[in-house]
Amino acid sequence: MPATSPPLSFFLPPLICGTATFNSQYNPDPYALPTTGIVHRALSSGVRAFDTSPYYGPAEELLGQALDTSFVHDNFPRRDYYLLTKVGRVGGAEFDYSPAWVRTSIQRSLKRLKTDYLDVVYCHDVEFVTPEEVLTAVTELRRIRDENGAVKYVGISGYPVAVLCELAEMILERTGEPLDIVMSYANYTLQNTRLSSVALPRLKAAGVDVVPNASVLAMGLLRRGGVPVGSLGDWHPSPNELRSAVDTASRYCDGLGDRIEKVAIRWALGTWLKEGATLGSNVKPGNDTVVEGTGESRQGISVIGVSNLKELDETLQVWRSILDGLEDSEHNTSETNKQSPERAWSLQRQKEVRDRAVVVKELIGSWLDYAWPSPGPDFANKRSLHLPFPAPLPTPAVSPKQMAVHTLGDDGVGTSSRI
């Protein structure tokens, strides 16, 4: 079969709001986060796509609650934003790629997200199962797509870029139809750029249309405070030696009055716009509404995750500043805009970050392009293969700390410093 038409790249915007942070891995109590405020602020700021997963604890439900409000219904019709979710990963060491569970998971996601269709569905963390299981799940998702349109585009996600490439090549060879989208995380950062150097050429040759870059802070590794520790404890797979090298680089940034996460975010978002363009978005960056692309120019797609409104405001400030510094940005079509103080500051900050990134990479040293094992050597799928039909996951109870859902304007609002 030919690739899906129209291509996903004609619609998916270059900035996606991720919701992995709406989860106890990143935050002790995800119900205490201003998730509705984050979603509303993101939409009001021009973000038009949201990435989630059943594996992210209550994330799908929290996103669905935020979208099922009069504010969204009155201002943002469903056709104006995109929902990306996943199937297959049930728990930390539980995976089920069977057709029956794929269909159950899709129906559950539709209900949680309060929608009639899902724009993109990935097979989640494909390196933990066999290639045949991935092929089975992809085939079932395409069957659902063709039967009733509840799924529009189909892809895979995971960490090891070589595995993603091998699976994309296998699926094209076995089915004659390329994947619409392949997402990796923590593989285009200040510490690791294998998504660009290793994966992009092979994925393009396999006919993949779109490759988003997720987790530009390497799941919180590239932060002044170190890796995030939520209610599940220290789950981050990075070795202590790598953490130590990042800490050294962080202290270098501190000495300049900067923060490593600020450098890392701006560097990754800005450089991926160009590096990921070959399998990026045709939607013009900076538009407040999604406009079908022309196919003439593309920009790399990034997925950003935040835990509060201040983080969202800071990240969007960085994004706009990056766009200000683009030569062909629609922000800079007039001579007035080209000479504006905002553009001058953006260009100066761009150079500053580029120079600091060089030193950060030197300090990370031999750990550059290191990728931790995924899965680890002791992994075993705990999902019983003998059950005739998988039991649904229990839904987390509402946190006793936060019974009410936050709305736009709740705590977290404030003037943010420039990044």
| Bond prior to 6 in cis (omega within 30° of 0) | yes
Q: Taking the CB of residue 235, how many other CB atoms lie within 10 A of it? A: 14
Token reading at 389: 């039909």
The one-letter amino acid code at 284 reads K
Q: Taking the CB of residue 127, how many other CB atoms lie within 10 A of it? A: 19
Residues contacting residue 150 through CB under 8 Å, at least 6 positions apart: 106, 110, 116, 117, 118, 144
Catalytic site includes residue 122? no
Q: Going along 173-301, which residue ranges are E strands?
A: 181-185, 213-214
Residues contacting residue 324 through CB under 8 Å, at least 6 positions apart: 331, 332, 340, 342, 343, 346
Closest CA to 321 of 305, 341, 303: 341
Token reading at 379: 């992994």
Task: Work out the burial of residue 64: count CB atoms within 10 Å of its CB; fewer than 13 is exposed, 13-18 middle, 19 or more buried.
Answer: buried
Helix (H) or strand (E) holding 10: none
Catalytic choice (56, 82, 159, 188): 56
Cα–Cα distance between 193 and 398 in angstroms, integer? 39
Cα–Cα distance between 400 and 362 in angstroms, integer? 46
Q: Which residues participate in catalysis according to the annotation?
A: 56
